[in-house]
């Protein structure tokens, strides 16, 4: 029986939902500068597959890595953690 590798999971904020079945999610984390030791905010944007067009801008969501769905999409929506107020 084959075993699957673990898939990457990220949590971020929806920054755009203007495309059909696709959202843009910004994931932010802090990392320590190698020389100065100061913590720096880093941000990366992902194109995420949203099958039901359910997300709105400002929602906090959990996404998971998947097979390539298009040229830019390799992530899919798992759940909406918190709705925008």
Burial of 25 (0-12, 13-18, 19+ CB in 10 A): buried
Q: Does domain 9-82 have CATH number 2.40.50.140?
A: yes
CA distance 76 to 45: 13
CA distances from 27 to 42, 43, 68, 76 (A): 8, 6, 19, 14
Domain boundaries, the chain: 9-82
Q: Which tens digit of pLDDT belongs to each residue from 42-84?
A: 999 999 999 999 999 999 999 999 999 999 999 999 999 999 9
pTM for this structure?
0.90
CA distances from 20 to 1, 34, 43, 79 (A): 37, 41, 24, 18
């Amino acid at each position: 029986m084959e075993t699957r590798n673990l898939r990457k999971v990220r949590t971020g904020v929806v920054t755009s939902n203007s495309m059909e079945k696709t959202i843009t999610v910004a994931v932010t984390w802090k990392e320590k500068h190698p020389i100065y030791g100061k913590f720096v905010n880093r941000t990366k944007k992902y194109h995420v597959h949203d099958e039901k067009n359910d997300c709105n801008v400002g929602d906090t969501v959990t996404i998971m890595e998947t097979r390539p769905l298009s040229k830019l999409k390799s992530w899919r929506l798992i759940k909406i953690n918190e709705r925008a107020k």
